[in-house]
Structure 1
Amino acid sequence: MMSIDEHQARKARSQKLLLWFAMASMTMMFAGITSAFVVSKSREDWMKDFQFPSAFYFSTLAIVLCSVSFHLAQKAIQKDNRSLVSSLLLATLGLGIAFVALQFAGFGQLIEQGYYFTGPESNIATTFLYVIAVVHMAHLAGGIISLLIIIYNHFKQKYNSTQFLGIELGAMYWHFLDFLWICLFLFLYFFK
């Protein structure tokens, strides 16, 4: 017969393993997209002189700050500092929303430069850029939904210094999203 602590430890290991598998599959998907990007660069219609949207720099800062605030929230719940956790989780949510808004601003900057992702004026390079950013934002939407659930559970007082698995899993996923965007940003910046 398993004790409650053993059952919770087994459940935590299972949930972390599932998250690792999900993150590995997302990484493989982006590896496929970026590989297709590299192969497509040899096309004659590939755009050569392209200004990287300045909003993407600010969105990168926003998502890095998301990761920092989520990490600090995880540390604060381990010390049962509930008010600090509340502030940090809400800051993470605000920064996540700012990331999305800045991504759309970056799309607007691309359109102002005359780069469209579809239609007769589109280019394969900008289509790849849009696909990479939109797929990343879809994963970020999952992160925001999970963050909303974590915030709800936090205000229902389901987390404390001994029970914080939801916050830990959420932080792991946000750190992954942060790392993934930084890799994508650097890839797009240097391989455009």
Structure 2
Amino acid sequence: MKRIKGAFIITMLIAVTGISCKKDDSKKEENVAGAATVTASNYGFDGTAGASFKSTKAGIVQVGTVWTLSAIKDGSNESISIVLGNVTATGTYKLDQGNNEGNGAIMLKDYKTATGEGAYSTDLPATGGMTGGGEVKITKLTATEAEGEFYIVAHNSAGKEAFVEQGKFTGTLNKR
């Protein structure tokens, strides 16, 4: 089940990245992915002290009920991606390992090359049996806008931890 869920999350992230990067001249410029901002006041990898995260290179995409937030940290190749499997309205969505909705998050040290120890997922366990997780609160969801808050605890294949606290997102929702 873990492998299926992990494969689903990775497949969705690849699909959303492709959708987010595709330019469609037939749509208005303000309704394309990339028109979102993501911030967090406490963010880090592998036990480092928390730093801030800011992305003006973010996109929010919803295909049916699958909702995805992808953000690349400004001046960096680090990224945060969140996939929620059943979004129909505002609300609180759990990222806890093994949740039934297929929700999850991935943090990458370098979105261009991250694999194994460079990729941190809420679906991977830490050494000592600790689990990943988090929560997304969508406080505004219209046909064109989304905003809310989140936190994430994720682990890599070696059991090391990445975290995001006091995360916020706001921007244009790209519905497909």
State TM-score, norm by structure 2: 0.30
Comparing both structures, which one devotes a greater share of its residues to strand? 2
Comparing both structures, which one devotes a greater share of its residues to helix? 1
Larger RCO (CA within 8 A; separation ≥ 6): 1
State TM-score, norm by structure 1: 0.28
